[in-house]
Structure 1
Amino acid sequence: MSADDASAPPLAFSGQRLGWADLPRAVRNRISTLAGARVTAESSANSGFSPGFAAILELTDGRGVFVKAVSPEQNPESPDLARAEIRVAAALPPQVPAPRLYWWHDDGEWVILGFEVAHGRPPEMPWRPDELQLVLDALIPLADAEPLPGHDLPRTDVKLAGDFTGWRRLQQRPADEIDALVARSGEIGAWAQANIDHLILWEEDSLRVCTGRALVHGDLRADNAMIDPDHHRVTLIDWPHASIGAPWLDLAFMLPSVAMQGGGEPQTHFWSHPVSDGVPPQDLRAALAGLTGFLTASSVLPAPVGIPNLRRFQRAQAAAALEWLRELA
């Protein structure tokens, strides 16, 4: 493994957050108008990969609102992700533990969203067993949730069709690039290289096993959960990747990051969780093959604009997911 991978797990942080004073005056004025009061203070979010502005704003009337604001200048894809989050917010049923979207504005360049403040804090890292249990318990009602009627959320298998081809794409890369990736990934990378034909075969089945009718967050990690320890309550945030699919996907896709951040063995967590009931092991293996291929292939790409830490995070997630996948081989 490389030196950066051998150290503490990488942080989920874009590294390029804007402050209130960095926003154009017109954007600040629009936020004040939408909020219905002037802004008196800000508390910037300190986790998550989204670049741009993300902060709790205190208002002159005593209220608070969590505001995201992004333009293509911070990252070309971020405005479309913000627009997706607007669509998702309209589809979330009340039993889903997510902040309510109060208002939004899109002028074609800047996309602004104003959310209910999610009280609490991110989980402590490495994971504390009690906090991990709270978050895993929050996935039980999520697995039973379906979007509101009239939604336009995509099917998970359709949404992931372009992503879950990573092993096939890696097989076509130059041999020296693959050798470098294996050297950086150590024993688990060598195992993946030796079993690439199996990984491709399982990956080809990954979209089939993703189908279903449940609401899938699609990007659950520690930085997308807020814990209110006083009320033993969890709020799940950042929903632009939501889709409709198998009810056990969020658990399966979250657990590699849990392992990466000191939360214990994915195999144990998955099969002891209620949402795993009835899941064929070969279906879990196929889904993980799709996920590991996506993470591994993505980790060798250049860093996206405004998100310099993402590739290292994906590389560490891929290693944890591959360790689990090897148990299922």
Structure 2
Amino acid sequence: MDQRPNGGPLAFNTMRLTWPDLPHRVRDRVADLAGAEVVNARGTTTGFGPGFAGIVDLANGTRVFVKATGEHEHPWSIGLARAELRANAALPETVPAPRLLWSDQGAWTLAGFECLEGASPSLPWSTSDLGRVFDALTDLARTPLTPGHALIPIVTSDTEFFTVWESFAKRPKQERLAAAARGGRWGEWALRHVDTFVAWECEAAAACAGGALVHGDLRADNVVIDTCGKAWMVDWPHATVGAPWLDLAFFLPSVEMQGGGSALEHFRSHPLGVSVGHRELRAVVTVLTGYFMLSSWQDAPEQIPRLREFQAAQAIPAARWLQALEPELAG
């Protein structure tokens, strides 16, 4: 598994399209939308999407961050690309997210975003970078939603997320055993406690309900620290409305995975986490553990070969967090 020293695995996809991979008509359309000829383009391999994503330099001296996803080339990912357009249109102006400058939804979904001057956090996480993200999460949770926004509640956005363990428990026994075998000792652990997890996850939907803006997929590769030290959040296709502490909880397994310290300790020391009840937190960590663990036992999706490794690495700190909340699960 590719990783930085003591920084955990990285979210990246070497199968991403490059600028030359895009059809000429798509490159020409980007230039039309941007209002100037493209003189240079530098793609990125961070993140898991297979489409093009990168910085495009324009003949008028400006830059734009461009995403291009083809309907026929990547039919499963076009939904996320279009969801990101809807989400960015609904974000309040004060949210630390790059502005959507233009878009096009034809056979290719194209988007041009404000180009941030900065970089992803260095890994393993530094105290300073982590503190900047924690401060940004506090501000995000307190940001009023835009009146008339189109974002939907998290409890209705992905109902399967709240029943991951129940769905697993209903599978035929041989299928459960074969899937769990991929998880080694953690698979054995999951099989021993699956009935308990099914009971706890029943409380997750109620725990997640709320009226705050939720990014829903925050991790290091979806953060940019700009040249002034401000933390920006990018890639918003999973944005929903829910409890104000959810992004903190969703974020922390990846933090622990990438050398940033204990998820449990960070949660309980953060202003958004101190007042969350034990049962609510247990329910959410239960579904987080199930999501990462059970997903990691599946075959990798086409054109995203690293995803399952990354999910497996997040499953371990999530499971340890659950064990810390309920010590009888240890061992």
- Global fold match (TM > 0.5): yes
Q: 1:284 aligns to what?
A: 281
CA RMSD of aligned residues (A): 1.9
**Is contact 1:17–1:52 with CA below 8 Å preserved after alignment?**
yes
Distance 1:183 1:260 in 2: 22
- Secondary structure of the structure 1 residue equivalent to 2:81: helix
Which consecutive unaligned segments of at least 5 residues does structure 1 have? none
Question: How does 1:1-329 map onto structure 2 within 5 Å?
Answer: 9-107=8-106, 109-179=107-177, 181-228=179-226, 230-329=227-326
What is the CA distance between 1:182 and its match in structure 2? Answer: 4.5
**What per-residue deviation string (whole Å, max 9, x for no partner) do you get for residues 252-311 of structure 1?**
011001111111000110011111132101101101111211222222222222211111
My pick for the range that moved more, 20-29 or 66-75, is 66-75
What is the CA distance between 1:51 and its match in structure 2? Answer: 1.1
What is the CA distance between 1:161 and its match in structure 2? Answer: 1.0
Which consecutive unaligned segments of at least 5 residues does structure 2 have? 327-331
- Secondary structure of the structure 1 residue equivalent to 2:56: strand
What is the CA distance between 1:184 and its match in structure 2? Answer: 4.6
What is the CA distance between 1:10 and its match in structure 2? Answer: 2.7
**What per-residue deviation string (whole Å, max 9, x for no partner) do you get for residues 112-159 of structure 1?**
000001221111111112111111111011111232111111101111
- Secondary structure of the structure 2 residue equivalent to 1:162: helix
Identity %: 48
Distance 1:177 1:98 in 2: 42
Bigger relative contact order (CA 8 A; separation at least 6) = 1
What is the CA distance between 1:241 and its match in structure 2? Answer: 0.2
**Is contact 2:298–2:308 with CA below 8 Å preserved after alignment?**
yes
**What per-residue deviation string (whole Å, max 9, x for no partner) do you get for residues 39-71 of structure 1?**
111121231111111010000111000000001
What is the CA distance between 1:324 and its match in structure 2? Answer: 0.4
My pick for the range that moved more, 256-265 or 39-48, is 39-48
- Secondary structure of the structure 2 residue equivalent to 1:51: coil
My pick for the range that moved more, 145-154 or 57-66, is 145-154
* Aligned length, in residue pairs: 324
**Is contact 2:2–2:10 with CA below 8 Å preserved after alignment?**
no
Distance 1:285 1:183 in 2: 25
Distance 1:82 1:4 in 2: 26
Taking structure 2 as the reference length, what is the TM-score of the superposition? 0.92
Q: State the AA in 1 paired with 2:190.
A: A
Distance 2:297 2:250 in 1: 20
What is the CA distance between 1:221 and its match in structure 2? Answer: 0.4
Q: State the AA in 2 paired with 1:247.
A: P
My pick for the range that moved more, 303-312 or 219-228, is 303-312
Q: State the AA in 1 paired with 2:56.
A: L
Q: State the AA in 1 paired with 2:260.
A: G
Distance 2:95 2:144 in 1: 9
**Is contact 1:165–1:294 with CA below 8 Å preserved after alignment?**
no
Q: State the AA in 2 paired with 1:320.
A: P
Distance 2:203 2:158 in 1: 12
- Secondary structure of the structure 2 residue equivalent to 1:17: coil
**Is contact 1:164–1:291 with CA below 8 Å preserved after alignment?**
no
Q: State the AA in 2 paired with 1:249.
A: L
Distance 2:190 2:134 in 1: 29
My pick for the range that moved more, 242-251 or 318-327, is 318-327
Distance 1:234 1:216 in 2: 16
Distance 1:75 1:323 in 2: 35
Taking structure 1 as the reference length, what is the TM-score of the superposition? 0.93
My pick for the range that moved more, 176-185 or 15-24, is 176-185
Q: State the AA in 1 paired with 2:295.
A: S
**What per-residue deviation string (whole Å, max 9, x for no partner) do you get for residues 3-58 of structure 1?**
899x9733211221111111111111110000000111112123111111101000
**Inter-CA distance 74–296: structure 2 relative to 1 (3 Å threshold):** farther
**What per-residue deviation string (whole Å, max 9, x for no partner) do you get for residues 151-208 of structure 1?**
1111011113122221112223344554455555454443332221111111111111
My pick for the range that moved more, 295-304 or 148-157, is 295-304
Q: State the AA in 2 paired with 1:253.
A: F
